[in-house]
Structures are given as C-alpha cells and as structure tokens.
Amino acid sequence: MSKNPEVIAAHGGQLVNRIATASEKEEFLGQAEKLPRVQLDERALSDLVMIAIGGFSPLTGFMEQADYEPVVESMRLANGLPWSIPITLSVTEEVAEPLKEGNWVRLDDPRGKLVGILELTQKYRYNKAHEVTNVYLTDESKHPGVKVVYDSGPINLAGPIWLLQRDPHPQFPKYQIDPADTRAKFQAKGWRSVVGFQTRNPIHRAHEYIQKCAIETGIDGLLLHPLVGATKNDDIPADVRMRCYEIILEKYYPKDRVILAINPAAMRYAGPREAIFHALVRKNYGCTHFIVGRDHAGVGDYYGTYDAQYIFDEFQPGELGIVPMKFEHAFYCTITQTMATSKTSPSTPEQRIHLSGTKVREMLRRGELPPPEFSRPEVAAELARAMQGQT
C-alpha cells in the first residue's frame, strides 16, 4: 500500500471543527457568568462533543426547524443531503422563555460545569408524536429512544455551538481518537479503504467473523469503534466492553490491520434510521465502508431482522458516500465446525450455536461461561468476572 493516499471526504464535503480557539474561549469565559444557562443531560453533552469534533459533519450546531422537519419526514437536511436522526436540544418552556434569539447561551454539563456556548438562532416547538413515529417507527414509551423524546421539553433550541475545550476521556483517554486523528492515522498507514464496525455489546465470535470477512474482501483496515456514550441500563458497561476488545485484539487480530477507538455518541436505538446515522458518522471518521449486520441498533422486536440493511436501498447508489457491507446473522456451524451464515452453512437451525444477548447475560450472572463456539474463552471469563462484581 502506498503512503499518504487520499482520505474519503467528510459528509457534506468538509470536516467540521467547532472547538473554540484560544481567543474565542477567552471571549466566552469573559462573559460566561452573565449568560443564561442551559444544563445538558448526558445525551445532549455527547451530541455537543460529536458536533464539535466533526463526528456529525456537516452539522455545526443543534438543528433549526428548516433542517429538523425534513430529517424527521424524509431523512434529509434542508439542502437535500442525507441525514436520518434529528440532533436537537430540547428544553422546558421555563428554560426557553427568557432566552433571546441572536444571543449566546451558556451550556453546562450535568454537573454544572461550563462546557460550551450556543449562539441561539431559533427556538421552536416540535411534534413529539410525529418525531417518534417517523424516527423510531413506534410511539410506545417503553422503547428507550421514544421515552427520551417524551421525557424531553417541548421546545428545541437551535444554532451553532462551540465546545470550550476537548478534554481527555475520563475512562479511555488512549482510545479517544477524534475524526481528524483517525483520518491522519489511516493516511499514515496507507489505508485507502477502511471498514467501520459499530457496537454497544461485547465482541463475540459472530462479530469477529464478519469483521474478518470484511477485511478479506480487500479492505485495508478495520476501525473497531465501540459506542461509549449513554446506553440502556441493562447494556454491558463501557469499561467492561473495552477490556473485552483489548483482550481479543491482543490475541486474535493482526495488529497492523485494526484501530480501536471510542465513539463518544449516545445510542438512540432507532434501528434502520440509526444504521444510516452510524454509517455517516463513520464516514466522518474516514471510513469508506460500514458493516451492517443483524438488527443493527435495534431493541426488543420493534424492527425486522434485516430492516437496517433494507433502508440503505432507499438512497441512490453512492449518495451516502460510504459503502454498506451487509452480513447475515453469523453462528457456529456444528456440521462444518466453523463460523458461518445460512449462505455458507449446510446446517439446520438446531445444528447452529448462537445465543441472544439476554441469554448470555443470564448465564454470566449464574457464573456460567458461554461456550467457546460463541465467545472466545478469555472474553467470556472477563465478562463473567464483571457480571459477578469481581475484580
């Protein structure tokens, strides 16, 4: 591979950077105590960071109504560019009422620390029921993404943002590799093609199989990109998942083909729409390809097994600017004694070993290890220690 190849353009053409310069930060800090305050929850804080580092390019701030409505309706920004998830800052009427359009607003993190500035260009009401039925395809409040919308305030604040400074991640500083940095790493390695892998779960043999299959197609490198923002309470904690990734990469992957980096975004659990969203985010990180497997970003039984793959067909070829790599559900085939899918295995369902995440968690809580056909033994042991509260 030749060095210094061109890296794929960010979504919209240019990688956004909304981290305040030294002079901007000085100006903001000089006025911070006099500015009205909005306290961000964990998800809004993640969104602020992702906008600032370019992960949500071409967004430079929270969406105005002109972008919000077509995104909800047809997965496009006002200029026609594909975008599938609304990125909004919703507040109560009491918070919104004193805020004046055209002024700066101080953005504080959940602990009350100043982290950013919003130039308030618009505040507007939105239809929650319309948003959830379009984005999540359900209005049931037991859906975690729908619940977040229902629990949010009725008014969206919009406008460009500045992140005052990019601090090291409190848990995973060595894996905090932002889009500008992943792009530089890909270029330095001479990678012309990079496949991104999204996960909020510990890595298991099916994940490993499809990742390696993707690389075998001629892809230069893999960005293993676990999400470490807000997730459901019953998801495996991020620190446990990260230890599992470190363990498996050390022993079972070629070191010159994989980069492990964290994705600081929050989960929406929006199934098909979030698959598009995850692909565009990885495009911003410099990936040319993106793995879409079974029930991507799904929860419960709200989405069909492969709906997250079918939704890519709603866009024109090349329109998204990143290539989806669609994989069927992988399992261990007891006939061929290898990992496989229904496309390559002669087995019947009862001759296949695959376990649901719920069943695996139940086994781990009982102190039972998943079989090696499902999970590498070292990973299973790490999960068992964590699930039983052991060090």
Q: What is the pLDDT of residues 85-125, one digit of tens each?
A: 999 999 999 999 999 999 999 999 999 999 999 999 999 99
For 180-227, how does the pLDDT look when each residue is reduced to its tens digit (9 = 90+)? 999 999 999 999 999 999 988 888 899 999 999 999 999 999 999 999
Q: 152 and 34 in one domain?
A: yes
Q: What CATH code is carried by the domain that includes residue 371?
A: 3.40.50.620
Q: Is 18 a catalytic residue?
A: no
| Mean pLDDT value of segment 258-264 | 97
For 34-87, how does the pLDDT look when each residue is reduced to its tens digit (9 = 90+)? 999 999 999 999 999 999 999 999 999 999 999 999 999 999 999 999 999 999
Q: Which of 142, 163, 184 is the last residue of a domain?
A: 163
Report d(CA 161, CA 179) in Å as an integer: 18
Q: Helix, strand or coil for residue 208? A: helix
Instruction: Tokens 């086994």: give the residue.
Output: 363
Residue 111 lies in a domain: yes
Among 151, 144, 148, 150, residue whose Cα is nearest residue 300 = 144
Among 230, 229, 312, residue whose Cα is nearest residue 277 = 312
pLDDT band at 389 (very low <50, low <70, confident <90, very high): low
The first and second tokens of residue 327, run together, are 């994989």
Query: Which pLDDT score, from 0 to 100, does residue 219 have?
Result: 97
pLDDT band at 362 (very low <50, low <70, confident <90, very high): confident
Q: Which of 163, 192, 219 is the last residue of a domain?
A: 163
Note the Cα 28 to chain centre separation in Å.
Answer: 30
Residue 261 lies in a domain: yes
pLDDT band at 281 (very low <50, low <70, confident <90, very high): very high
Q: 342 and 227 in one domain?
A: yes
Residue 168 lies in a domain: no
Instruction: Tokens 């591979």: give the residue.
Output: 1
Q: 348 and 299 in one domain?
A: yes
Query: Which pLDDT score, from 0 to 100, does residue 237 have?
Result: 87
Q: 368 and 220 in one domain?
A: yes
Burial of 378 (0-12, 13-18, 19+ CB in 10 A): middle
pLDDT band at 279 (very low <50, low <70, confident <90, very high): very high
Is the pLDDT at 390 greater than 60? The verdict is no
| Mean pLDDT value of segment 373-389 | 86
| Mean pLDDT value of segment 138-144 | 96
Q: 248 and 349 in one domain?
A: yes
Query: Which pLDDT score, from 0 to 100, does residue 357 have?
Result: 67
Q: Calculate the average pLDDT of the chain.
A: 94
Q: 34 and 159 in one domain?
A: yes
Burial of 102 (0-12, 13-18, 19+ CB in 10 A): exposed
Taken as a whole, the chain contains a residue count of 391
Active-site hit among 201, 243, 361, 385: 201
Q: Is 200 a catalytic residue?
A: yes
Phi and psi angles of residue 75, each rounded to the nearest 5 degrees, phi first: 60, 40
pLDDT band at 1 (very low <50, low <70, confident <90, very high): very low
Whole-prediction pTM: 0.95
Active-site hit among 18, 183, 192, 200: 200
Residue 235 lies in a domain: yes
Q: 280: domain range?
A: 173-387
Q: 344 and 316 in one domain?
A: yes
Residue 1 lies in a domain: no
Q: 178 and 127 in one domain?
A: no
Q: Please list, in sequence order, all residues whose beta carbon lies within 8 angstroms of the beta carbon of residue 77, skipping any fewer than 6 positions away.
A: 58, 67, 70, 71, 83
Query: Which pLDDT score, from 0 to 100, does residue 3 have?
Result: 61
Q: What CATH code is carried by the domain that includes residue 39?
A: 3.10.400.10
Total count of domains within the chain = 2
